[in-house]
Amino acid sequence: MANYLVTGAAGFIGSALARRLLDEGHQVASIDNLSTGFLDNLPAGTSFVEGDCADPAMYQKIPQHKYDAILHIAGQSSGEVSFDDPIYDIRTNAESTLLLLKFALTNGCRRFIFASTMSVYGVKPDIPIDEDQDCAPESFYGVAKLASEHYMRIYQQYGIDSTALRLFNVYGPGQNLKNLRQGMVSIFVAQMFEDAAIQVKGSADRYRDFIYIDDVVDAFVNSIDCRTAGSQVINVATGVRTSVGELLQVIVSKHDQAVEIGYSGSTSGDIHGIRAEVVKMREILGINNTLDLEQGITKMLDWVRAVHDRQA
């Protein structure tokens, strides 16, 4: 049994990860400021601290046993929101990481894993993008996440081995259906169930790489033990290019009502397209069989229907 600290455990990815670690018999302490997460998401059995990772005083409240790894998932996760308030974004996505790294050092924890993002890359050609590509983020969000990766690189000199997982578009059960500013799949699905209509910001020929939540949780769990000295950066994606139009087709084909689709405007900092090279994910994390989009969307829609039935 190991001791883990998971931040953002009341959110979509953090709650799924904390649940998996608890199911595997580990002890999990968790932190969340509930800015976009919900207490209901917290898995039973975690010792929870409500607090902000960017608040130095919060670190006094964390259970002070020695952690085998810190999994830093908390953060403001919307490129669009980062344009509303870049200072808030850098506090939550960069300052938080620095404070957690400092906490890791004083705690004696030598393993740090971070939820980074494809947004660090910026505008790229339509080819699989590997981790050695230059990074020139198009959003404040991407800048703060990239800063965090560099803080982790610098902290390796103090003996902290780190892995930044550059998550591409994550989707699946548990995604926040109320937050219409983050998560392409959840936004489309929420609109479809609410209004039988989807309003798309941007064109249908934009493309992304969509990865199912369980595969992302596998990536975090496997990275705990795939320890190499120093700091690593690994894409977490499927390697499959899917256009927004193709995604919409899959989603609406599985709905039991006709769905109207409209296009208008765009989102600040949105890039036309990106897809990942996933050789490192396969070789280092041992993740080879990611769920395909058709199956993943089916599971997600089944979950949304179950949530609606419970609320009816």
Ligand X SMILES: NC(=O)c1ccc[n+]([C@@H]2O[C@H](COP(=O)([O-])OP(=O)(O)OC[C@H]3O[C@@H](n4cnc5c(N)ncnc54)[C@H](O)[C@@H]3O)[C@@H](O)[C@H]2O)c1
User: Catalytic site residues?
Assistant: 141
C-beta closer to ligand X: residue 50 or 260: 50
Q: Does 36 bind ligand X (CB under 6 A)?
A: yes
CB 128 within 8 A of CB 275: yes
Site for ligand X (CB under 6 A): which residue of 2, 34, 226, 261?
34
16/239 Cα distance (integer angstroms): 22
Q: How far is the CB of 217 from ligand X (least distance, A)?
A: 11
DSSP-assigned states of every residue in 143-183: HHHHHHHHHHHHHGGGT-EEEEEEE-EEESTT--SS-TTS-
CB 166 within 8 A of CB 211: no
Site for ligand X (CB under 6 A): which residue of 5, 22, 29, 53?
53
Q: How far is the CB of 261 from ligand X (least distance, A)?
A: 21
Q: Does 96 bind ligand X (CB under 6 A)?
A: yes
Q: Does 75 bind ligand X (CB under 6 A)?
A: yes
Site for ligand X (CB under 6 A): which residue of 4, 5, 6, 11?
11
> In the 8-state DSSP scheme, what is residue 197?
E
Site for ligand X (CB under 6 A): which residue of 31, 147, 293, 304?
31
Q: Does 73 bind ligand X (CB under 6 A)?
A: yes
How many Cβ atoms sit within 10 Å of the Cβ of residue 5?
Answer: 28
What tokens appear for 200 in the block?
């798309």
Task: Tell me the per-residue interface mask from 146 to 185 with ligand X, x by CB under 6 A, - otherwise.
Answer: ---------------------x-xx-----x------x--
167: left (phi over 0), alpha (psi -120 to 50) or beta: beta
Q: Does 74 bind ligand X (CB under 6 A)?
A: yes
Amino acid at 37: G
Q: Does 10 bind ligand X (CB under 6 A)?
A: yes
How many Cβ atoms sit within 10 Å of the Cβ of residue 288?
Answer: 9
Contacts (CB under 6 A) with ligand X, residues 232-271: none
Beta strands 3-7 and 111-117, pairing class = unpaired
Contacts (CB under 6 A) with ligand X, residues 186-205: none
* CA-CA-CA-CA torsion sign (297, 113, 32, 201): negative
Q: How far is the CB of 26 from ligand X (least distance, A)?
A: 20
Binding residues for ligand X (CB under 6 A): 7-8, 10-14, 31-37, 52-54, 73-77, 92, 96, 115, 117, 167, 169-170, 176, 183
